[in-house]
Amino acid sequence: MSSPSPAPSPPTAPTRAPAAAAAPGRRRASSLSAGFRVLGVGIRREPWVFTLSAIGSVLFGALTVADAWVLGWATDHVLLPAFDTGTTTTKGLLAILALFLGVAILRAVGIVARRLGAGIMQYRMQAAYRREVTRQYLTLPMDWHQQHPTGELLSNANSDVEAAWAPIAPLPMAVGTLAMMVIAVAQMLFTDLLMAVVGLLVFPLVMVANVVFQRLSSPIFTRIQSLRAELSEVAHESFDGAMVVKTLGREEQETERFAARARMLRDEGIRAGRIRAAFDPLLEGLPNLGVLAVLGVGVARVGSGAADPGDVVTVAYLLTIVAFPIRSIGWLLGEFPRSVVGYQRVHRVLDVVSTTTHGEARPVVDDRGARLEVEGLDYRYVADQRLLEGLDFELAPGRTVAVVGATASGKSTLTSLVTRLVDPVGGRLRLDGHDLRDLAPGELARHVALVPQSAFLFDDTVRGNVTLGAEVPDEDVWEALRTAQADGFVAALPHGLDSRLGERGTSLSGGQRQRLSLARALLRRPRLLVLDDATSAVDPEVEARILAGMRRTGGGTTMLLVAYRKATIALADEVLFLEHGRIADRGTHQELIARNPGYAHLVNAYETEGAAS
């Protein structure tokens, strides 16, 4: 069979969403406009909560401005007459007290509504996006995961999501204070036009300072988020490989590798802090200059009789109130650079479109084993590195086929293709006559189970690791454990099926972890069981009992197993001998031993190596 022409990447390679469908924060625009678009996404997703918090914030803002009116009214009608006459009335004092107390209570109600709504909205958005990112991780194919470090994925789902929705917290405050500013400016203009214009002259300077801050801080926050992902990646690798690090005495080197990234993150954080330290006092000080200018003009206008003292107090107080909205809006805008960067990084994951396709075919579920047909199968990881080429074989229902080959001959890749962790570049695989790409979503998992060489166990109980949360009677769990020769050591655990195994099953040996991983697959009674050297850490005697139990209790289960030991290979009905990604020979174990020197040398070498170890 001739080799097909080179193709690009396997068809499961995910692609990015088209630019037209890009989410708001990812367009090339200033962080200011992009930040508002990110907030728009949150408002559209939580309109009622945002409305509640905005109403509370507007109430707070309006009543804060009302304080200025109360203060001006008290100055003109109670305080100044008291200075003129030397006395005041109880009625006047009670009126002032009632006005201030009523405004304070209503303002407190607005604060509670604002903060409660902001908190609910922020945490809901973070939770929703974490779920979306996690769901996306679970749907993307394995070749995408192989291209992205675990630390980066953790950062996307954690710190990037938090950064994306950090502006939600000051958003209701900014909305309310914006209303406060509009009301306050209107009241200032109504009270005294000249003093209001003098005080408001500083506001353009405040806005310019905010824009400059955005431009300076945005690239720094981009770098900070990237460094957080790198730091998480280094930490995850070090913790995951703790045994290697300790046994090889590389603690100092790993510590320094982590410390180098931590220092870089620290330095970028300090740069961001210096910029904020320079701009915060400026934003605080500019409105105060406006207050001083108003007081100077106001004194002159009172002296000339053009204004009352209460007008000066009202305008000056309103200007201090207006300064607060400017600062709160500055807090909101200050979060935009980090928010936009986090949103962009999260949507790099959410916008990936997998080209893995599904059909509607559903194989018949029965007690017989599945039929697997492999036809002209080709696969490569990169365009010029062919790993499997022209594989043709058929696995009849109820039969067992062993795949034998040297390292890098394509055995594990074949198991990934059969279970559709990746799709082939050429050729096809059929299950009961249906191309795997034509099966309905979830159908392949109903019929096929893979037990990989490296057994992964969760930090859960034995029952949780075997059932993976499915509602299964304990009798069925024990039956699967007995077939996998795991019932003995599980029964000896302190709490039996309820015993927790620790992270990655650290409380168990390698062979015990493999047997639990095998029991997990057997519990589902698959019609096609794929074993990728799944008993390599089990001694030969136990392995023989496992395989005998599987053949006895599995009924008509079809098995495809990657094997090295002669005892395991000899149980197969047929052996496929792979060399350089091709089937070099096939037949029974005894036939291949007799006629193929390469095969005989390989299995004898494995046997010799196993005996020596």
Instruction: Please give the average per-residue pLDDT across 361-370, as a whole number.
Output: 77
pLDDT value, residue 555: 60
Kindly report, residue by residue over 396-446, the tens digit of the pLDDT. 888 888 888 888 788 888 888 888 888 888 888 888 888 888 888 888 888
The reported pLDDT for the residue numbered 68 is 66
Which pLDDT score is estimated for 590? 87
Q: What percent of the chain has pLDDT over 70?
A: 83
pLDDT exceeds 70 at position 14: no
Structure confidence at residue 25 (pLDDT): 38
Count, in order, helices (H) and strands (E) of the chain: 23, 12
Structure confidence at residue 18 as a pLDDT band (50, 70, 90)? very low
Q: Helix, strand, coil shares of the chain as percentages rounded to 5?
A: 65, 10, 25
Task: Please list, in sequence order, all residues whose beta carbon lies within 8 angstroms of the beta carbon of residue 398, skipping any fewer than 6 positions away.
Answer: 368, 369, 555, 556, 557, 558
In which band, very low, low, confident or very high, does the pLDDT at 23 lie, cut at 50, 70 and 90? very low
- Measured from the Cβ of residue 249, the count of other Cβ atoms closer than 10 Å reads 8
For residue 20, the model assigns a pLDDT of 33
- Per the CB < 8 A criterion, the answer to whether 461 and 497 are in contact is yes
The mean pLDDT of the chain is 77
Say if residue 465's pLDDT is above 80. yes
Stretch among 77-81, 407-411, 435-439, 584-588 having the lowest mean pLDDT: 77-81
Better-scored residue on pLDDT, 206 or 418: 418
Over the stretch 106-123, which tens digit does the pLDDT of each residue have? Answer: 878 888 888 888 888 888
d(CA 379, CA 388): 5
pLDDT at 382: 67
> DSSP letter at 21?
G
Whether 19 shows a pLDDT value over 60: the answer reads: no
Q: Does residue 13 register a pLDDT over 60? A: no
Cα 14 to Cα 136, 145, 160, 477, distances in angstroms: 11, 10, 21, 37
Q: Which residues pair with residue 461 across a beta bridge?
A: 500
pLDDT class of 16 with cuts at 50, 70, 90:
very low
Bigger pLDDT: 576 or 21? 576
> Which of the four pLDDT bands, split at 50, 70 and 90, describes residue 86?
low
Residue 353: both structure tokens together: 């479109």
DSSP code, position 20: G
The tally of CA atoms less than 13 A away on the side-chain side of residue 375 is 11
pLDDT tens string 538-578? 777 777 777 777 766 656 788 888 888 777 787 788 888 88
SS (H, E, C) 483-506: HCCCHHHHHHCCCHHHCECCHHHC
Query: Which residues neighbour 461 within 8 Å (Cβ) at sequence distance 6 or greater?
Result: 495, 497, 498, 499, 500, 501
DSSP assignment of 52-120 equals HHHHHHHHHHHHHHHHHHHHHHHIIIIIHHHHHHS---HHHHHHHHHHHHHHHHHHHHHHHHHHHHHHH
Beta strands in 365-472 (DSSP E): 372-382, 385-395, 400-405, 426-431, 434-435, 448-451
pLDDT of 7 > 50? The answer is: no
| Percent of the chain topping pLDDT 90 | 0
Q: Is the pLDDT of residue 8 over 60?
A: no
What value, to the nearest 5°, has the Cα angle with vertex 193 and ends 187 and 194? Answer: 135
Q: What domains, with CATH codes, occur in the chain?
A: 30-352 (1.20.1560.10), 372-458+527-612 (3.40.50.300)
Three-state secondary structure readout of 414-443? HHHHHCCCCCCCEEEEEECCEEHHHECCCH
Output 451 or 218, whichever has higher pLDDT: 451
Q: What is the mean pLDDT of residues 20-39?
A: 57
End-to-end Cα separation, the chain, in angstroms: 41
Looking at per-residue confidence, does 256 or 87 come out higher?
A: 256
pLDDT at 27: 38
pTM over 0.85: no
Helix or strand or coil: residue 392?
strand
Chain centre to alpha carbon of residue 418: 29
Most confident of 144-158, 348-362, 389-403, 503-517: 389-403
Residue 203: pLDDT band (50, 70, 90) is confident
Check whether 9 has a pLDDT greater than 60. Answer: no
C-alpha span between 496 and 148 (Å, rounded): 38
**Distance (Å) of CA 277 to CA 282, 332, 339, 444, 599:** 9, 16, 20, 58, 71
Condensed to tens digits (0 to 9), the pLDDT of residues 490-520 reads 888 888 888 888 777 777 888 888 888 888 8
Q: What is the C-alpha separation between 342 and 225, in angstroms, rounded?
A: 7
